[in-house]
Chains A and B, each alone.
Chain A
Amino acid sequence: MYEFDYKRPGTIDEAAGLLNDDTVLLAGGQTLIPTLKQRLAQPEALVDLSAIESLRGVCPDGDQLAIGAMTTHAEVANKATIPVLASLASGIGDAQVRNRGTIGGSIANNDPAADYPAAVVGLNAVVSTDRRTIAADDFFTDLFETALEEGEIITNVTFPKPEAAAYIKFDNPASRYAIVGVMVAKTSSGIRVAVTGAGPCVFRQTEMETALSGSFTTQALENISVSADGLNSDIHASAEYRANLIKVLAKRAVAQING
């Protein structure tokens, strides 16, 4: 780790005022701190968001659930009133990661194998920042890239409660990130199928969405052939294997929803 200044502002405005090209936001630090320890980043200052109370908490509000950006995975696992979200959060990393990592930090980082992007896209959530709101479909743009502008701070993520949903994840045996994770949800805006881990960035499997809109059964997915084109390939899983998992996990998610 190189030397850096550490700032812990009490308000979002104060935090925003501290940001510049040489500072980075510290949320749960589950990616940033290891990166610093390996001397792979050399910021002048970290701006720690942990003292900003308004960024924390799980707030049910009618048919939606607002989760503060600095809410830990463990808190979401324990308190989220959307069961699929609680169960997804409970499967992230290990207990130490869940007690430190936050939803805002996770989606701002947009790791291709992270779980939360599947929830945000699959459940059609809205990401609020200190400047605007961003629809889920517009938020995740590419590998480790999001629609966030320079210095923009996520304040919360609001999830509409789905009619039914299931998230099935195939763990990387080593890291326990998703080799593939599939969220299938019946939402007020229709059937959504979001896939994480498989590609450079979370994506919707629209062919499956269409098929399931016609008939919400595993049979409806049977004849869909998932292409390996553009999927990730690494020492743990080839693109072809990931393509297989997308279909297998989607079917299992549908089966789980259908009980």
Chain B
Amino acid sequence: MTTETGIGASVRRKEDKRFIIGKGRYLDDITKPGQTYGYFIRSPYAHAKINSIDTSEALKAPGIVDILTGPDMEADGIGPIICGWGITSKDGTPHKAPAHPALAVSHVKYVGHQVALVVAETLQQARDAAELVEIDYEELPHVIEVGDALASDAPQIHDDIPGNLSFDWEIGDRAAAEQAIASAHHVTRMDLRNNRLIPNAMEPRAALGEYDAGTDEITLYTTSQNPHVHRLVLSAFNAVAPEHKLRVIAPDVGGGFGSKIFIYSEETVCAWATKKLDRPIKWTADRSESFLSDAHGRDHETHAEMAFDADGKILGFKVSTKANVGCYLSTFASAVPTYLYGTLLNGQYTMPAIYCEVQAGFTNTAPVDAYRGAGRPEATYVVERMIEIGAREMGIDPGEIRKRNFIPPDAYPYETPVIMAYDSGNYALAMDKAQAAIDYSGFEARKAESAQRGKLRGIGYSAFIEACGIAPSAAVGSLGAGVGLWESAQVRFNPTGSVTVFTGSHSHGQGHETTFAQIVSDQLGVPIDQVEISHGDTGKVPFGMGTYGSRSLAVGGSAIMKAIDKVVEKSKKIAAHTLEASVEDIEHSGGVFSVAGTDKKMTMAEIAFSAYVPHNYPADVEPGMDETAFYDPLNFTFPAGTHIAEVEIDPETGTTEILDWVAVDDFGNVINPMIVEGQVHGGLAQGIGQALLENCVYDKESGQLLTGSYMDYCMPRADDLPTFRVETINTPCTTNPLGVKGCGEAGAISAPAALMNAITNALGKEIDMPATPEKVWRAAQGL
């Protein structure tokens, strides 16, 4: 059904009103009676032994409630922070993960490492008291870069992990890839760096623990993308409270980009300490803490070799990557540079042989984990830079070389050599549209015009693919995931016909309250303002696995569809009884249930009312209209597309201006085109930020974070970005009931390669991200 509020309509976001009028309720907006404030003392050193912590003076400070340390947590039996995904190395051994106490016990491993929680009546008092805590540190040698950490003479970060190596993983066929390279007409070889990023959600991380001594329940309010996962881990592994005595609420959350998936020290400590002290405790990160302690993103050093035949057909691809995982393995840190990376190195192409090996190294830096795209931007960057450079080296047009290698539209399902089975796609169609939109054939004339003005013009492609809708539990389980990745939904009709949908997906900017309501409105004919989407509270939502990996619609939306199916099935029985027909004769369309071939019908609202006022009701049907479904997909989804960027460089200053950007994406079916376009814009902004502006820098000598504020860490701003031109093509996904593929990460995945291909095309020379003005200037001047 296509209506003004149904599937396919650009409905304005229902949630925006409360954000625009300042009525959003973020974590720091919540204050509890008797609340105290927590302040974390953090390590000023990159690596040190803690000889002693003396809290005696601080405990006399005004307003102090208590000061809690790592040994206190150990004494209470609180377990360490875990990594939830097991990776097996080439030699068959499991990955090595150091014990990660939520508060440091004997050593600190990075600048910002949580050492103690100071609890006081006010935040100022907590900070004042923190300055009175005497900590005797003994500095130890540190290492910042992963290449250095994996070298034989590197300082040891963890006593029980020799060589700082967490795992040495591989996928694909090494012999076949090497054979292809050895016998190829042409081999492109490159070293590529994927720069380290700091996520920078607008709302900093925060936690508020509240213990109820009467019920022995802990309620943890926290900035989470997946409150049920928080509850599961905090209960099962950290032993903060049994699952039925722990409620996790993630209220309005101001952006996540992956950084709020993970179970961090701070919320673990607050959940434990509130019971210990029997007082509510709130901690809200200041921006400096966010820079220091949010899980960072990316940070790969890669050597790649791509083999071509004389026509530019890819024969083999070999990739060796060193991934910096920081000082500890964060929640999904091991999955990101492995199964979310190596499995995507096939790109959109037919590649007979692929081999990828990844060494994950510990360093004295903040943990590194998933950040918008998570592994797939890294894969796309390697694939799309390599094919572009291959095209340049062989004198083939970069669009043409891709078309020669595209998997044809009739080849689906397509099994790649790196374990993925693509369900659907039409890569050439996306590229044709992108080339037409940007007037690719007119580029040379535009380049000549730029040259007349002393400017260097460049154009670059990215034909990306991603595996989204992170789900099939059987698949991820076989690859090492410690959890299932289904989703649940509950569709509850109220007697008056309005609907509340409880979803395990969590919206922290994505617009679920609109998109999911559109599905219900479309399928059941309920006016959209009569549909409420409830999420983010383990006390309300039956279960959930949360939002990441562009999975909310493909998995969470599909769960809603499954619950709707149950509503329809039950409604048919009620309609059949009421209309005195057989169930088989009841037809349903958009919330109207009619008897085939007659004008007898009932609306969804009438049926819902009768379900709660069952005066005339079938004996074999339960009263009420409240259906819950769990959905576990058959496969990942595979959004793909072509982006083309056009830039102009000022060779005197090295400034890059993005003149044009065309994005043609295949997201399968689209529920709300406006929200999809917004998601693409946001992803592009972050991808462009990575390629042009953002760079996390630690000082190698001191181990200090040099880019610890917006004075030095450059986020993209509106005037850094062009007017994006976004189109979609819609090849429905064949493995979920909505036919959707997911759109949240596409821009961030695709943009870095497109932009760097454009910049290096203009320069005629290779540089690494970010393409800062100085780097571009040096390349332009031949320095």
Spell out A's residues near B (CB within 8 Å): 1-2, 38-39, 170, 173-175, 177, 235-238, 241, 244-245, 248
Contacts and interface: CB of A to CB of B under 8 A. Distances in A.
B710 A235 contact: no
Given A174-B710, A248-B652, 15 more contacts: A2-B128, A173-B693, A173-B772, A173-B773, A174-B711, A174-B712, A174-B714, A175-B712, A236-B772, A236-B774, A237-B773, A237-B774, A241-B774, A241-B778, A244-B652
Interface in B258-304: 288
Nearest to B707: A235
B777 A175 contact: no
Interface in B691-717: 693, 697, 706-707, 710-715
A107 B714 CA distance: 26
A237 B712 CA distance: 12
B189 interface: no
Contacts of A238: 774
Contacts of B712: 174-175, 235-236
Contact of A241 (B288, B697, B715, B777): B777
A223 B778 CA distance: 20
B127 interface: yes
Given A39-B127, A248-B652, A248-B653, A175 B707 contact: no
Nearest to B288: A38
B711 A175 contact: yes
A170 B714 contact: no
B708 to A, nearest CB: 11
Specify the main secondary structure of chain B where it touches its partner: loop
Contacts of B693: 173-174
Nearest to B692: A173
A199 B446 CA distance: 39
21 contacts: A1-B124, A38-B288, A39-B131, A170-B773, A173-B693, A173-B773, A174-B710, A174-B714, A174-B715, A175-B711, A175-B712, A235-B707, A237-B773, A241-B773, A241-B777, A241-B778, A244-B652, A244-B777, A244-B781, A245-B653, A248-B653
A91 B630 CA distance: 55
A173 B774 contact: no
Nearest to B697: A235
Nearest to A180: B653
Contacts of A175: 710-712
A131 to B, nearest CB: 34
Nearest to A39: B127
Contacts of A236: 712, 772, 774
A174 B427 CA distance: 37
Contacts of A2: 128
Contacts of B715: 174
Contacts of B706: 235
A170 B774 contact: no
A156 B714 CA distance: 35
A1 B773 CA distance: 36
Contacts of A170: 653, 773
Contacts of B288: 38
A115 to B, nearest CB: 16
A250 B710 CA distance: 28
Nearest to A252: B652
Contacts of B707: 235
Contacts of B710: 174-175
A39 to B, nearest CB: 7
A39 B714 CA distance: 24
Nearest to A174: B714
A83 B163 CA distance: 62
A174 B653 contact: no
Question: Of residues A236, A245, A248, which shows the largest number of chain B Cβ atoms within 10 Å of its Cβ?
Answer: A236
A235 B778 CA distance: 15
Contacts of B654: 241
Nearest to A242: B774
A174 B713 contact: yes
Nearest to A179: B773
A2 B720 CA distance: 37
Nearest to A245: B653
Contacts of A1: 124
A43 B568 CA distance: 70
Contacts of B131: 39
Contacts of A245: 653
A83 to B, nearest CB: 22
A237 B776 CA distance: 12
A169 to B, nearest CB: 11
Contacts of A173: 693, 714, 720, 772-773
A232 B720 CA distance: 25
A156 to B, nearest CB: 29
A2 B127 CA distance: 9
**Which 5 A-B pairs give the minimum distances between C-beta atoms?**
A174-B714, A175-B711, A241-B774, A173-B714, A248-B652
B755 to A, nearest CB: 15
Contacts of A39: 127, 131
A1 B127 CA distance: 9
Nearest to B695: A235
A236 B706 CA distance: 11
A230 B341 CA distance: 45
Contacts of B777: 241, 244
A174 B693 CA distance: 8
Contacts of A177: 711
Nearest to B706: A235
A241 B127 CA distance: 41
A241 to B, nearest CB: 4
A174 to B, nearest CB: 4
B688 to A, nearest CB: 12
A244 B651 CA distance: 11
A208 B455 CA distance: 26
A96 to B, nearest CB: 13
A174 B706 CA distance: 13
B694 to A, nearest CB: 9
B503 to A, nearest CB: 38
A192 B710 CA distance: 33
A83 B124 CA distance: 46
Nearest to B781: A244
A172 to B, nearest CB: 8
Contacts of B714: 173-174
Contacts of B773: 170, 173, 237, 241
Interface in B653-693: 653-654, 693
Contacts of A241: 654, 773-774, 777-778
A244 B706 CA distance: 25
Nearest to A173: B714
Nearest to A94: B717
Contacts of A244: 652, 777, 781
Contacts of B653: 170, 245, 248
Contacts of B774: 236-238, 241
